[in-house]
């Protein structure tokens, strides 16, 4: 493993599911990094989620790790496999600025108390219908940081771009919570708060990128996600990793949004399915049966 100038090693890590083509585009795009990763680890939920031939367009070695279905499971496989000092988790549709890894190295080398750093998302397609690859690239190319780069204290890293110092993860045997199945709504919050006792969690202006928010063809069934929007927050609160006011505020906002948009759903969101999942979770909460893993039976 090659070390960076400050002695830190960096792994780029992508957990992916069902987005084979965009994964290939994103990995090819990562040739843009001025500071190359010391490890590049990809964990698909299924072997067919990776176009192995397509990965040859990347100018470096990539290790594909078999893993079970579920984002926390896949991220834990990556953590167990990595020997690096810092792991940078990118979503399979996140396009980082060319200096992203160089800035991660400089930040973590100069600030040993930082445990998690998340970047400034220039544009986030997850909040709408999603961005096309070329549109995302144009937005990234046009981006200019017009003020001194600042560090902002934040409650948690954003899972689409999240750099993690692995020494405390290894020392305290920390893992993404595998009781949060599938997409694992808010798993980034839970993991960040596990690291909070050991140092700072920050949003760094100098770490910049575009999250395409790529949607699968057609609307994904929303019942599971709707259930997770309620159940996962309460589960994380019970662990002590989220205050009650965030649980109630976030849950109210999700339910209100799903209720409002159920009248005229966006083409890319199953609002009625999400609302149904919200209501099922409330029912289970009131009856004492609430468990994030209940979505496995849906």
**Residues 195, 229 within the same domain:** no
CATH number of the domain that residue 37 is part of? 3.90.550.10
**Per-position pLDDT tens, the chain of length 298:** 444 445 899 999 999 998 999 999 999 999 999 999 999 999 999 999 999 998 999 999 999 999 888 999 999 999 999 999 999 999 999 999 999 999 999 999 999 999 999 999 999 998 888 899 999 999 999 998 878 889 999 999 999 999 999 999 999 999 999 999 998 999 999 999 999 999 999 999 999 999 999 876 444 579 999 999 999 999 999 999 999 999 999 999 999 999 999 999 888 889 999 999 999 999 999 999 999 999 999 8
Q: Is residue 265 part of a domain?
A: yes
Q: Is residue 3 part of a domain?
A: no
pLDDT digits over 204-231, tens only?
A: 999 999 999 987 644 457 999 999 999 9
Q: Give the residue from 211, 236, 263 where a domain finishes.
A: 211
Q: Is residue 217 part of a domain?
A: no
| 3-state secondary structure labels for all residues of the chain | CCCCCCCCCEEEEEEECCCHHHHHHHHHHHHHCCCCCCEEEEEECCHHHCCCCHHHHCCCCCEECCCCCCHHHHHHHHHHHCCCCEEEEECCCEEECCCHHHHHHHHHHHCCCEEEEEEEEEEEHHHCCCCCHHHHHHHHHHCCCCCCCCEEECCCCCCCEEEEEHHHHHHCCCCCCCCCCCCCCCHHHHHHHHHHHHCEEEEEEEEEEEECCCCCCCCCCCHHHHHHHHHHHHHHHHCCCCCHHHHHHHHHHHHHHHHHHCCCCCCCCCHHHHHHHHHHHHHHHHHCCCCHHHHHHC
pLDDT value of residue 220 = 55
- Give the residue numbers spanning the domain of 250: 223-297
Question: How many domains in the chain?
Answer: 2
Q: Is residue 2 part of a domain?
A: no
Q: Is residue 79 part of a domain?
A: yes
Q: Is residue 266 part of a domain?
A: yes
**Residues 82, 229 within the same domain:** no
**Residues 198, 230 within the same domain:** no
**Residues 203, 228 within the same domain:** no
Q: Give the residue from 211, 238, 253 where a domain finishes.
A: 211
């Amino acid at each position: 493993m090659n070390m960076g100038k400050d002695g830190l090693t960096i792994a780029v890590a992508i957990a992916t599911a069902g987005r084979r083509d965009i994964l290939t585009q994103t990995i090819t795009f990562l040739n843009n990094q001025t500071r190359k990763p010391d490890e590049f680890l990809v964990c698909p939920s299924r072997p067919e989620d990776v176009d192995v031939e397509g990965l040859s367009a990347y100018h470096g070695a990539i290790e594909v790790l078999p893993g079970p279905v579920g984002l926390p499971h896949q991220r834990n496989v990556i953590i167990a496999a990595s020997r690096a000092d810092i792991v940078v988790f990118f979503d399979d549709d996140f396009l980082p600025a060319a200096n992203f890894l160089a800035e991660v190295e400089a930040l973590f080398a100069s600030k040993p108390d930082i445990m998690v750093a998340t970047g400034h998302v220039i544009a986030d397609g997850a909040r709408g219908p999603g961005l096309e690859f070329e549109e995302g690239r144009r937005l990234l190319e046009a981006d200019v940081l017009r003020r001194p780069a600042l560090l902002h204290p934040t409650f948690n890293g954003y899972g689409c771009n999240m750099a993690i110092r692995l020494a405390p993860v290894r020392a305290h045997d920390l893992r993404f919570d595998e009781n949060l199945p599938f997409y694992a709504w808010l798993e980034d919050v839970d993991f960040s708060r596990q690291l909070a006792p050991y140092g700072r969690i920050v949003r760094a202006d100098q770490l910049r990128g575009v999250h395409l928010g790529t949607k699968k063809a057609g609307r994904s069934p929303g019942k599971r996600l709707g259930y997770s929007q309620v159940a996962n927050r309460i589960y994380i609160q019970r662990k002590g990793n989220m205050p009650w006011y965030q649980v109630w505020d976030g849950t109210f906002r999700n339910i209100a949004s799903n209720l409002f948009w159920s009248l005229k759903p966006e083409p890319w969101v199953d609002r009625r399915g999400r609302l149904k999942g919200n209501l099922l979770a409330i029912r289970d909460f009131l009856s004492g049966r609430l468990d994030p893993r209940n979505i496995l039976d849906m």
